[in-house]
Copies of this chain bind each other. A is one copy, B any other.
Amino acid sequence: MIQPGAASGSPPIFEKVAIIGLGLIGGSIALAVREHWPSSLVIGLDRKEVLEKAMVLHAIDVAADDPVVIAEADLVILAAPVEQNIVRLAELDRYVTTPAVVTDVGSTKRTTVKAARMLPSRFTFVGGHPLGGAPRSGIEYARSDLFVDRPWLFTPEGDGDAAVLERLCSFVRELGAKPEVIDPAEHDRLLAIVSHLPQLTASALMHVVGTTARERGLALTGRGLFDATRLASSPAHIWRDICGSNADAIGDALDDLIRELETLRRGLTSSTEIDRVFESAGTWRARLAELRPTTRSQ
């Protein structure tokens, strides 16, 4: 079930939804659309092995390893890693012959939004970023309720098409998400801080702890390290693109953290230094807990 009271069977906002890339996010969108609008056609594009899994999970109506099948899609969702989405954008003109709304679900927005400016005028592009997220990637972990009560950011450029934006907002609202509009550059700056920095920190921390403390040290840990490094199991292939396409903003965020760690390092024997960081961290952590949506079992 997508949401208690969701009007399953309401008229579809898009008739033919092409989803390019069926990972956790693409697969979850596919499941949610099929569950919510049984009369919509969901076309999935990916490698053969992934398409087979998607068919077994009943996530898609049509499995395509040949993009020709998306010729008449009225919504195209780019759900591969960022660089692949940009490659796909450049190919759309060849494969999609009718006017279509195009969006993506990438974690960075500036490079994709910029690439989309080259699309022929029958396409209307609005960048998107659903903040679903789950500890594991891959269509095996897709779930139709992944977006329920979570923000789904849209990053239209200046005088974007307001009607298309509204259609996309309605679309994701029906899937349970909370659409929000944000400037692409502000999106990338904020996500660098709240998402990309924590990811790189968790990965670097796990790498350093593992290589210096080895098994002997890891056996002495508890929930603290376990939670602090949960993100460290994220797949490299997605993060290569995120880091590459948002390097300036991530670099700024990393600089801030490195500076803070250096200050802490110099102040290890100074109680005022420890107090300053711990008190600020404790206050922000409490605020984070207040802002957090209701927990969902994962």
A interface with B by C-beta (< 8 Å): 131-135, 150-151, 153, 190-191, 193-195, 197-213, 215-236, 239-240, 243-244, 247, 250-251, 253-258, 260-262, 264-265, 268-269, 271, 274-275, 277-289, 291-292, 298
Distance from A154 Cβ to chain B, minimum over Cβ atoms (Å): 13
Identical copies of this chain, number: 2
* Highest count of chain B CB atoms <10 Å: which of A151, A239, A274, A279: A274
Distance from A141 Cβ to chain B, minimum over Cβ atoms (Å): 13
Report chain B residues within 8 Å CB of A207: 260, 277, 280-281, 284
Report chain B residues within 8 Å CB of A133: 222-224
Q: List 28 A-B contacts (CB under 8 A).
A: A131-B222, A195-B224, A201-B205, A202-B281, A204-B260, A204-B277, A206-B280, A206-B284, A210-B285, A212-B256, A215-B287, A215-B291, A224-B230, A224-B231, A226-B292, A227-B230, A227-B231, A228-B230, A232-B281, A232-B285, A235-B278, A236-B274, A244-B268, A244-B271, A247-B268, A251-B268, A257-B261, A258-B265
Q: Nearest B residue to A257 by beta-carbon distance?
A: B208
Q: Nearest B residue to A265 by beta-carbon distance?
A: B254
User: How many angstroms from the CA of A292 to the CA of B224 in the assembled complex?
Assistant: 12
B217 touches A278 (CB 8 A): no
* Highest count of chain B CB atoms <10 Å: which of A209, A236, A271: A209
Q: Nearest B residue to A222 by beta-carbon distance?
A: B133
A240 touches B274 (CB 8 A): yes
B244 touches A204 (CB 8 A): no
Q: Nearest B residue to A203 by beta-carbon distance?
A: B281
Report chain B residues within 8 Å CB of A257: 204-205, 208, 261
Distance from A218 Cβ to chain B, minimum over Cβ atoms (Å): 5
* Closest 6 pairs between A and B when the two form their complex, measured CB to CB: A210-B284, A236-B278, A247-B268, A206-B281, A203-B281, A232-B281
A271 touches B240 (CB 8 A): yes
Q: Nearest B residue to A249 by beta-carbon distance?
A: B268
Excluding A131-B222, A194-B220, A206-B281, 20 further A-B contacts by CB distance (< 8 Å) are A131-B220, A133-B224, A134-B223, A135-B223, A151-B220, A190-B220, A194-B217, A195-B225, A197-B209, A198-B224, A198-B225, A201-B228, A202-B281, A203-B278, A208-B256, A226-B289, A233-B281, A240-B275, A243-B269, A247-B269
User: How many angstroms from the CA of A227 to the CA of B131 in the assembled complex?
Assistant: 16
